[in-house]
Chain A
Amino acid sequence: MHPACLSVSTFSSKAEGEGRMAYLETRGLGRDFPGVVALENFDIDIEIGRTHVLIGENGAGKSTLLKLVTGTDKPSRGTIRIDGKDIMRDRDLFRYIAYVPQELSLFPNLSVAENLLIPFHRSGLKGLVRRGRMHSLAQDYLDRFAIEGRPSDLVMDISIPDQQLLQIARASTNQDMRILILDEPTSSLTPVEVARVFKAIRDFHARGIGVVFVSHKMNEVFEIGDDYTVLRNGKKVDAGKLSDTDERALVRHMSGQKLTLGNEFRPHAEAQAAEPLLSVRNLSGDRFNDVSFDLYPGEILGFAGLVGSGRSEVMQSIFGYRRARSGTVQTQHGSWPLGDTSKSVQRGMLYLSEERKHHGIFPHLSLRENIGLSIFALTTSPLGISVSKERRAIDEIIDRYEIRTPSREKIIAHLSGGNQQKAIIGRAMATEPRILIFDEPTKGIDVRTKAQIYQIMKGLAERGIGIILVSSELDELCKCATRIVTMHAGYITGTFQTKDTDTETLISAIFDMETDHV
């Protein structure tokens, strides 16, 4: 029916016609979960010395595929061959595959060297632990990946981007590795750090290692990728060489419907009130200094900057999650109380954290209980919470925000990231906030859900809510924000009307070019 369905046959025949030797291949691979087919009749060929990009919406089957080819889950049917040999005969073959998960999974209290080399037997270290030998071995890896930090530093003391690179370095200590799988390695990185990851990937190619790269960022896909496979609903819908396709086609295959790129999600800011909702003056705290800005009702105020530039810290301090050292925040009605999240929420401010897992969801509770936490005003009487009222209110939120779930009683940790995010936004909206702070709201979210989130933000702003959007994607900020504030190393370096600026200006403000070059 869809044009995308037709392309399955055309593209797969093309891929088979190439006749190159695949190192990792699957044929007819399938995995069923109760009531769901997570992966169906899936063929893929991963070659060494190249980068194969996997793209697809959240829940399209990427994670299932990765679990099967790394041996953490077993297929319901089909074959996986590594170097031409069937892994069902010899599970030891999985040692040729290295996998770097999306989330950081390091030991924060151990040293950089220990993190790199544990388990010791795999890195060729025998007997008692010898620090000198360990550190010199680790230093080689740190140099190769340009990681700042000494082998003896604790992992918790090095920067997040360095931790991300350390994870990749750790995978490469596996001497047998021929295929390296990187699951969204750049989702919390800025362009400079992404370049470091890409350099590492090219080094791997040179050493005859194949890379599987999962990403939602189209520009990265085209920069680093050679081959690609698009997944949708557990099936391969498109595959081939990236040089033969373009962004528009990929997005169409991923979503199964036509989507126009470069949509404008900027609210109409004509009726900007003279009075700001929030006036931040000379706010200083841990990792930021002397921050001043105004937020007006009906605008989306973007905050651009590198990871670690202090954007999140500023927002968390205004919200009361962190302490501010000095400075004030004023509203029309007087000064804003700092240092108490419950007072901020009572006064209509909500902060939606970048760290969904740590700051957003209650993993053990159901979707209903997660959302229900913010709508007690609607559901509680002197006789307690009315579950029927709660169900009705929550079904409405599930429908309005298009949260895809089999049931409202589903444990939220079992939903996909995009649906968790929609649940968090739906919950926030239910409190009818006046000020909303979105911190990287589309991190790890597929293209279609992203567009939905932009649309929601726009609608809210046009209802007079003041929105702050912290984002590392300039593209996202330009699409959505009416004004953009840039931060560098804890200081504000500029404020721009989005319609009067360009990305070059923004980037030079983000990197604080003027100051650096004087």
Chain B
Amino acid sequence: MSDAQSERGREARSDGILAVMARTPVLGVFAVLVAIFVASALLSPVFLTSFNLSVVARGLAFVGLVTIGQASLMLLGELDLSLGTIGGLSGIVMGLLMVNVGLPAWLAIALALLLGATLGFINGFLVSVLRLHSLVLTIGTAGIYGGTILVLTRGVAITGIPRDIHFLGRGTFWGMPMPFVIMLIMLALAIFLTTKTPFGRYMYAIGSNRDAARMLGIKVDRVRILVFMMAGTLAALAGVLMVARLGTAQASVGNAWVLGPIAAAVIGGVATTGGVGTIIGAIFGATIIAIIENIIVLFGISPYWQGIVSGAIVVLAISFDSISRKWFRRGN
């Protein structure tokens, strides 16, 4: 038996770099990320300045939080298009509770996060119980949550957010922007959850084959609802941090958090069909997008052209991934 074991071990070790890359696509994404980082540093003298890096990190923090949630849902084979409006609505509600109701900051934040979890629960519950397709359902709930923002604010920003929570959005910790630090903590938790706990393995199992997961006695609906709640909470956290950073609760918060995180996850190797990919890969994907958007600005490309350029680069990045995977497979 020990013979057989050592033989298997040897086989795994004797695999070439190409084979390892083919099996763990996240290394490929990381290589692309490093290449883009180095290229940006060489192309622009401003890129590596600590001010610019902190701008990139701060921007990445908000999208990153939503990406963690969206990628977790994608591992299950679900998508939530309402995460952006969940983040926006939670930020607005926090602002209202502080400014109009006068609740203490910690309580307003807690209630905002709870709201995010609740809205996520509604999505997950409807998907599970009514057996709706999450993509279609969340187009609807995104409209409802986004409409609620307009009803509550009539499009006017809520000003006068208490100064004592500004540090959440603007402060630094060991030189890093506070939202970025919080995102890293959430990332570490999500990586632990998806790779080291039975719950995380269940997520992959459900995404890979839902019927087989039920046959194995996995509580499919419960796992799904919990992941929707987790994604909602992370979106709400992003909304809270964004409001803390802006100092005002604006109706537009969260508008950019719908498609970006999905693109980031796909660039990072997460399949939209479920069961394939990693959270860290999705964050690498988000970082790639953040750096590209930053370099476009640094190059002074006309803002009218920015959408076209960054969109084209996303398409390139995704095709690079699929082409390289095909290439690895053939080389293998």
Contact of B217 among A346, A364, A398, A408 (CB under 8 A): A346
Query: Which B210-224 residues have a C-beta within 8 angstroms of A?
Result: 211-219
B201 lies within 8 A of chain A by Cβ: yes
Residues of chain A with a CB closer than 8 A to B197's CB:
380, 384-385
Residues of chain B with a CB closer than 8 A to A345's CB:
216-217
Task: Give bound CA distance, A358 to B271, whole Å.
Answer: 19
Q: Is the CB of A373 within 8 A of B202?
A: yes
- Chain B residue, CB-CB nearest to A355: B211
Report the minimal beta-carbon distance from A324 to chain B, rounded to whole angstroms: 16
Report the minimal beta-carbon distance from A340 to chain B, rounded to whole angstroms: 9
Residues of chain A with a CB closer than 8 A to B192's CB:
384
Task: Give bound CA distance, A344 to B217, whole Å.
Answer: 7
Contact of B211 among A358, A398, A409 (CB under 8 A): A358
Contact digits for A156-172, partner B, Cβ 8 Å, 1 yes 0 no: 00000000000000000
Contact digits for A403-415, partner B, Cβ 8 Å, 1 yes 0 no: 0001111000000
A374 lies within 8 A of chain B by Cβ: yes
Task: Give bound CA distance, A265 to B195, whole Å.
Answer: 41
Contact of B204 among A360, A361, A362 (CB under 8 A): A362
Q: Is the CB of B275 within 8 A of A365?
A: yes
Of B1-9, B114-122, B142-150, the one touching chain A: B1-9
- Chain B residue, CB-CB nearest to A396: B1
Query: By the criterion of a CB under 8 Å from any partner CB, how many residues of chain A are at the interface?
Result: 37
Report the minimal beta-carbon distance from A403 to chain B, rounded to whole angstroms: 11
Task: Give bound CA distance, A346 to B219, whole Å.
Answer: 11
Q: Is the CB of B217 within 8 A of A358?
A: no
Residues of chain A with a CB closer than 8 A to B300's CB:
none
Residues of chain A with a CB closer than 8 A to B211's CB:
358-359
Query: Which A384-423 residues have a C-beta within 8 angstroms of B?
Result: 384-385, 395-396, 398-399, 406-409
Report the minimal beta-carbon distance from A363 to chain B, rounded to whole angstroms: 6
Residues of chain B with a CB closer than 8 A to A374's CB:
216
A353 lies within 8 A of chain B by Cβ: yes
B11 lies within 8 A of chain A by Cβ: yes
B323 lies within 8 A of chain A by Cβ: no
Q: Is the CB of A359 within 8 A of B215?
A: yes
B44 lies within 8 A of chain A by Cβ: no
Contact of B332 among A34, A359, A384, A408 (CB under 8 A): A34
A369 lies within 8 A of chain B by Cβ: yes
Report the minimal beta-carbon distance from B313 to chain A, rounded to whole angstroms: 28
Max chain A Cβ within 10 angstroms of own Cβ: one of B4, B215, B332: B215
Q: Is the CB of B215 within 8 A of A385?
A: no
B50 lies within 8 A of chain A by Cβ: no
Task: Give bound CA distance, A380 to B23, whole Å.
Answer: 25
Residues of chain A with a CB closer than 8 A to B216's CB:
341, 345, 373-374
Report the minimal beta-carbon distance from A392 to chain B, rounded to whole angstroms: 8
- Chain A residue, CB-CB nearest to B6: A395
A351 lies within 8 A of chain B by Cβ: yes
Query: Which B261-310 residues have a C-beta within 8 angstroms of A?
Result: 271, 275-276
Residues of chain A with a CB closer than 8 A to B195's CB:
384-385
B175 lies within 8 A of chain A by Cβ: no
Q: Is the CB of A353 within 8 A of B202?
A: no
Residues of chain A with a CB closer than 8 A to B215's CB:
319, 321, 341, 351, 353, 359-360
Q: Is the CB of A395 within 8 A of B332?
A: no
Residues of chain A with a CB closer than 8 A to B332's CB:
34
Contact of B209 among A342, A363, A380, A407 (CB under 8 A): A363
Q: Is the CB of B196 within 8 A of A361?
A: no
B12 lies within 8 A of chain A by Cβ: yes
Task: Give bound CA distance, A127 to B141, whole Å.
Answer: 44
Task: Give bound CA distance, A342 to B217, whole Å.
Answer: 4
Residues of chain B with a CB closer than 8 A to A409's CB:
12, 23
Task: Give bound CA distance, A308 to B39, whole Å.
Answer: 63
Contact of A385 among B196, B205, B214 (CB under 8 A): B196
Contact of B212 among A343, A346, A359, A396 (CB under 8 A): A359
Q: Is the CB of B201 within 8 A of A373?
A: yes
Report the minimal beta-carbon distance from B93 to chain A, rounded to whole angstroms: 35
Residues of chain B with a CB closer than 8 A to A298's CB:
none
Residues of chain B with a CB closer than 8 A to A344's CB:
217
Query: Which B223-269 residues have a C-beta within 8 angstroms of A?
Result: none
Q: Is the CB of A406 within 8 A of B11?
A: yes
Q: Is the CB of B198 within 8 A of A364?
A: no
Q: Is the CB of B208 within 8 A of A342?
A: no
- Chain B residue, CB-CB nearest to A376: B198
Residues of chain B with a CB closer than 8 A to A343's CB:
217
Report the minimal beta-carbon distance from B243 to chain A, rounded to whole angstroms: 34
Report the minimal beta-carbon distance from B54 to chain A, rounded to whole angstroms: 32
Residues of chain A with a CB closer than 8 A to B5's CB:
395, 399
Contact digits for B74-118, partner A, Cβ 8 Å, 1 yes 0 no: 000000000000000000000000000000000000000000000
Residues of chain A with a CB closer than 8 A to B201's CB:
369, 372-373, 376, 385
Contact digits for B301-332, partner A, Cβ 8 Å, 1 yes 0 no: 00000000000000000000000000000001
- Chain A residue, CB-CB nearest to B277: A364
Q: Is the CB of B212 within 8 A of A362?
A: yes
Residues of chain B with a CB closer than 8 A to A346's CB:
217
Q: Is the CB of B4 within 8 A of A399?
A: yes
Question: If the complex has contacts A380-B198, A407-B12, are A369 and B217 also in contact, measured as CB distance less than 8 A?
Answer: no
Residues of chain B with a CB closer than 8 A to A380's CB:
197-198
Q: Is the CB of A358 within 8 A of B276?
A: no
Q: Is the CB of A408 within 8 A of B8?
A: yes
- Chain B residue, CB-CB nearest to A345: B217
- Chain A residue, CB-CB nearest to B214: A341
Q: Is the CB of A364 within 8 A of B275?
A: yes
- Chain B residue, CB-CB nearest to A342: B217
Q: Is the CB of B212 within 8 A of A358?
A: yes
Task: Give bound CA distance, A147 to B204, whole Å.
Answer: 41
Q: Is the CB of A395 within 8 A of B8?
A: yes
Residues of chain B with a CB closer than 8 A to A369's CB:
201, 204-205
Task: Give bound CA distance, A445 to B224, whole Å.
Answer: 35
Residues of chain B with a CB closer than 8 A to A350's CB:
217
Report the minimal beta-carbon distance from B192 to chain A, rounded to whole angstroms: 6
Task: Give bound CA distance, A117 to B209, whole Å.
Answer: 32
Residues of chain B with a CB closer than 8 A to A358's CB:
209, 211-212
Question: If the complex has contacts A321-B215, A358-B211, are A407 and B11 also in contact, measured as CB distance less than 8 A?
Answer: yes
Contact of A361 among B212, B219, B271 (CB under 8 A): B212
Residues of chain B with a CB closer than 8 A to A399's CB:
1, 4-5
Q: Is the CB of A373 within 8 A of B205?
A: yes
Question: If the complex has contacts A384-B197, A385-B196, A408-B8, are A362 and B1 also in contact, measured as CB distance less than 8 A?
Answer: no
Task: Give bound CA distance, A406 to B213, whole Å.
Answer: 25
Task: Give bound CA distance, A12 to B11, whole Å.
Answer: 37
Residues of chain B with a CB closer than 8 A to A359's CB:
209, 211-212, 215
User: Could you list 20 further interchain pairs (A-B, Cβ under 8 angstroms) beyond the known A362-B213, A399-B5?
Assistant: A341-B214, A350-B217, A359-B209, A361-B212, A362-B208, A362-B209, A364-B207, A364-B208, A365-B275, A373-B218, A374-B216, A376-B201, A380-B198, A385-B197, A395-B5, A396-B1, A398-B4, A398-B8, A407-B11, A409-B12
Q: List 26 A-B pairs, Cβ < 8 Å.
A: A341-B216, A342-B217, A344-B217, A345-B217, A351-B215, A353-B215, A358-B211, A360-B212, A363-B208, A364-B207, A364-B208, A364-B271, A364-B275, A364-B276, A365-B204, A372-B201, A373-B216, A376-B198, A376-B201, A385-B196, A385-B197, A395-B1, A398-B4, A398-B8, A406-B8, A407-B8
**Chain A contact residues, CB within 8 Å of chain B:** 34, 319, 321, 341-346, 350-351, 353, 358-365, 369, 372-374, 376, 380, 383-385, 395-396, 398-399, 406-409
Closest 7 CB pairs of A and B: A345-B217, A384-B196, A362-B208, A364-B275, A342-B217, A376-B198, A364-B208
